[in-house]
Structure 1
């Protein structure tokens, strides 16, 4: 597969991180609302407050990874656009990242295959954090006593 096509595929995969971020944002908002509801009750449920705090903290961590993934998606798409001179674009990108203190000089010159693995690892980290939000929320919903009255 040509390098520019690989870069475009990676950029496309990284753009899927936006969907993960949107779901995580909704779960974080749900955590805030659930936490406020627990605080408004006369006797807050410890499990509810803990779940709320968990959803908020993990959601904020996921938001950090989402920013990183989105940034990398844009950079990969930018480099993939100019298939004629990827080396020139790579050097210009590295210089810009170093000027903005976003990359140390020691990380310059890495092959694109290594950069792709790193970017996809960021996407996996984002997905793991989303899973860390979904599973406890789902477990609480399924274990809730009100569920037995619904059906």
Structure 2
């Protein structure tokens, strides 16, 4: 049974999303804690509350992409090990995605190159959301420094 190196490569790249998810989760929890602290101490300004809410919102959207990327990483790894059975396993995967996830039938039968591009596009979105979240956090820190 042969292993498809391109599918292994895509799976490996997609697994990097797990590290991003960890960074984003830490910042999301911190933003929640700081947001609640500001509300409880009645010291939160509107800008502060909105900043914390934006950090949490970006974190939650990033979490959605992280779950999708992790699912794709698992699927690509499984398909990379399918060897000569890849066409049959692909058909079974398309049937399962249509049945359980509601993927439209017209998306079945896509090439693995198209699937790879789509999965890597999700990873890029996850990276952008994580970067935006950290940029907002950095801007908040800078604003706090000049506010004092």
**TM-score normalised per structure 2:** 0.92
Q: Please, which runs of 5 or more residues in structure 1 have no aligned partner?
A: none
- State how far apart, in whole Å, the 2-side matches of 1:56 and 1:114 are: 32
- State how far apart, in whole Å, the 2-side matches of 1:72 and 1:39 are: 39
Of 19-28 and 97-106, deviating more is 97-106
Aligned length: 147
Q: C-alpha deviations, 1:60-97, integer Å up to 9, x for none?
A: 11111111000100100010012222111111111111
- How is 1:44-123 mapped onto 2 (pairs within 5 angstroms)? 44-123=44-123
With over 3 angstroms needed to count, the CA separation of the structure-2 counterparts of 1:3 and 1:107, relative to structure 1, is farther
Superposition deviation, residue 101 in structure 1: 3.7
Contact 1:34 / 1:48 at 8 angstroms: preserved in 2? no
2:21 corresponding residue in structure 1: 21
Runs of 4+ off more than 6 Å:
none
Q: What is the root-mean-square deviation of aligned Cα atoms in Å? A: 1.9
